């Protein structure tokens, strides 16, 4: 007889999305960058991805794969998508507001777009789904880009003004997330130089740590000034980092430095301006001096990322010392055939429960993602969704099929059982 795993009463279950990845027809720094880089990204795919990935996802060689365009048309179909979420037992949903829609010109706020997001929130509440609202999921208005983006010393002023306006206009929000994965942007845009604005500079990277932390801190204060009862935090992407050889001083030092910059530095800079801790977990890094990855990769996703559900237990355990409520705001995998998703979700949740059993105050789990979506510089081929999107029908009509038809994957139904039962065997 197997033991039943029962999660705490009132636990939040659901999934997450972000505006640029699902809405479609956005006009921001990313939408401009996509058009300028689509052909290059398609060309470089043959050197970036392994043979099995190239054969499985030939669309990676097509420039249109890298242009978000209509994405999933969630901007128009959010009610349909939330009906699906409700049917799957979700009682929480994380989404992001697209800043470039709200403030397309500096200081000029678009009331029609604010009303749109008010309707999105109303649609969630009507279905008994608690909104977790993200204010910045990487994209910025073109006027912010033209002023230097997140590296501009006045970025925190621009962002906190926008955050304050949203708090005023959407006054009944319980959970506000200021920034999504700031260290991911620092790493990919300013350390590796792969993402816009592609400025590879370690000095700028360190500067952006402080700029984004200041943006969070100021937004935290302004949201609370408007809505004292609101809960405010930022999303930290946390990797489980360990030394390859636990007896090697050099390997241990390498892992310690990586853990500081990846997991700890930004949280330290936010000066306890967090009512909760929100974490995204995807990566396990077993490091050998001076920084070589030595993962076993027994199971991998379609993107070649190692699937290591046990890591979420270690990440959560590290956060126990902060004595704050924790919400897992993203955890998922690219799996077009839906072959590993059920296993991955269940193993991840067993490790989440293990952390709870050891006193970690975890209060919610949001899978990434509700829908297949536009995965940034990878484009459309990685399939993270509980719900499959038929992109072959993105045009006016495709062989009589429904445009961008939604199809619930088998793993989503298995996750639904967990959501509805607040537990699993």
For the stretch 94-104, pLDDT in tens is 999 999 999 99
Phi-psi region of 293 (alpha: psi -120 to 50; beta: other; left: phi over 0): beta
In this predicted structure, the answer to whether residue 397 has a pLDDT above a threshold of 70 is no
Question: Chain-centre distance of CA 346, in angstroms?
Answer: 20
Q: How far apart are CA 326 and CA 316, in angstroms?
A: 8
Q: What whole-number distance in Å separates Cα of residue 137 and Cα of residue 180?
A: 5
Which residue has better confidence, 161 or 392?
161
Residue 52 has pLDDT above 50, yes or no: yes
Evaluate whether 21 touches 140 at the Cβ level (below 8 Å): no
Query: Model's pTM, two decimal places?
Result: 0.97
**Per-residue pLDDT reduced to its tens digit, 58-73:** 999 999 999 999 999 9
* 1 has pLDDT over 50: no
- Strands (E) in 222-318, as ranges, are 231-237, 240-243, 277-280, 284-288, 292-293
pLDDT in tens, 253-268: 999 999 999 999 999 9
394, pLDDT greater than 60: no
Q: pLDDT band for 403, please (50, 70, 90 cuts).
A: confident
pLDDT at 151 > cutoff 80 = yes
The mean pLDDT of 25-52, rounded to a whole number, is 98
Calculate what percentage of the chain has a pLDDT beyond 70. 97
Mean pLDDT of the chain: 96
Q: Any idea what DSSP says for residue 59?
A: G
Q: Would you place residue 17 in the very low, low, confident or very high pLDDT band (cuts 50, 70, 90)? A: very high
Whether residue 374 contacts residue 49, with contact meaning beta carbons closer than 8 Å, is answered with: no
User: In which band, very low, low, confident or very high, does the pLDDT at 271 lie, cut at 50, 70 and 90?
Assistant: confident
pLDDT of residue 414: 98
Q: In the structure, what pLDDT confidence band is assigned to residue 398 with cuts at 50, 70 and 90?
A: very low
pLDDT band at 6 (very low <50, low <70, confident <90, very high): very high
Burial class (CB in 10 A: 0-12, 13-18, 19+), 399: exposed
pLDDT tens digit string along 214-234?
Answer: 999 999 999 999 999 999 999
Question: Which one, of 22, 126, 136, lies nearest residue 387 by Cα?
Answer: 22
pLDDT of 395 > 60? The answer is: no
Q: What is the pLDDT of residue 2?
A: 56
How much of the chain is in helix, strand and coil states, percent to nearest 5? 45, 15, 35
For 326: left if phi > 0, alpha if psi spans -120 to 50, otherwise beta; the answer is beta
Instruction: Give pLDDT, residue 402.
Output: 62
Which residues contact residue 279 at a Cβ distance below 8 angstroms, ignoring those fewer than 6 apart? 235, 236, 237, 238, 315, 316, 319, 326, 327, 328, 329
Q: Is the pLDDT of residue 393 over 80?
A: no
């Amino acid at each position: 007889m197997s033991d039943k795993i029962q999660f705490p009463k009132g636990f939040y279950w659901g999934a997450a999305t972000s505006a640029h990845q699902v809405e479609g027809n956005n006009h921001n720094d990313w939408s401009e960058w996509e058009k300028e880089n689509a052909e290059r990204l398609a060309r470089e795919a043959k050197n970036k991805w392994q043979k099995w990935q190239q054969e499985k996802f030939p669309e990676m060689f097509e420039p249109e794969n890298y242009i978000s365009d209509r994405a999933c048309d969630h901007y128009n179909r959010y009610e349909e998508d939330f009906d699906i979420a409700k049917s799957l037992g979700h009682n929480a949903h994380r989404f992001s507001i697209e800043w470039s829609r709200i403030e397309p010109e500096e200081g000029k706020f678009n009331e029609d777009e604010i009303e749109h997001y008010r309707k999105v929130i109303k649609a969630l509440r009507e279905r008994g789904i608690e909104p977790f609202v993200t204010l910045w999921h990487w994209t910025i208005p073109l006027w912010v880009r033209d002023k230097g983006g997140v590296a501009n010393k006045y970025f925190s002023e621009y962002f906190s003004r926008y955050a304050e306006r949203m708090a005023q206009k959407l006054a009944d929000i319980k959970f506000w997330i200021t920034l999504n994965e700031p260290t991911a942007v620092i790493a990919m845009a300013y350390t590796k130089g792969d993402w816009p604005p592609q400025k590879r500079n370690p000095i700028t990277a360190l500067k952006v740590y402080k700029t984004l932390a200041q943006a969070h801190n100021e937004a935290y204060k302004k949201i609370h000034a408007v809505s004292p009862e609101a809960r405010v935090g930022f999303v930290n992407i946390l990797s489980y980092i360990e030394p390859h050889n636990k007896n090697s001083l050099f390997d241990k030092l390498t892992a310690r430095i990586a853990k500081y910059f990846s997991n700890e530095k930004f949280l330290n800079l936010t000066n306890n301006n967090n009512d909760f801790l929100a974490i995204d977990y995807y990566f396990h890094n077993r490091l050998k001096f001076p920084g070589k990855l030595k993962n076993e990769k027994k199971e991998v996703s379609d993107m070649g990322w190692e699937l290591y559900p046990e890591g979420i237990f270690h990440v959560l355990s590290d956060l126990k010392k902060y004595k704050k409520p924790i919400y897992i705001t993203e955890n998922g995998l690219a799996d077009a055939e839906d072959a590993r998703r059920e296993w991955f979700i269940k193993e991840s949740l067993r490790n989440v429960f293990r952390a709870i059993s050891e006193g970690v105050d975890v209060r919610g789990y949001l899978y990434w993602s509700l829908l297949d979506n536009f995965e940034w510089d990878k484009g459309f081929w990685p399939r993270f969704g509980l719900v499959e999107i038929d992109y072959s029908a993105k045009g006016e009509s495709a062989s009589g099929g429904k445009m961008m038809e939604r199809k619930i994957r088998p793993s989503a139904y298995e996750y639904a059982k967990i959501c509805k039962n607040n537990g699993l065997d």
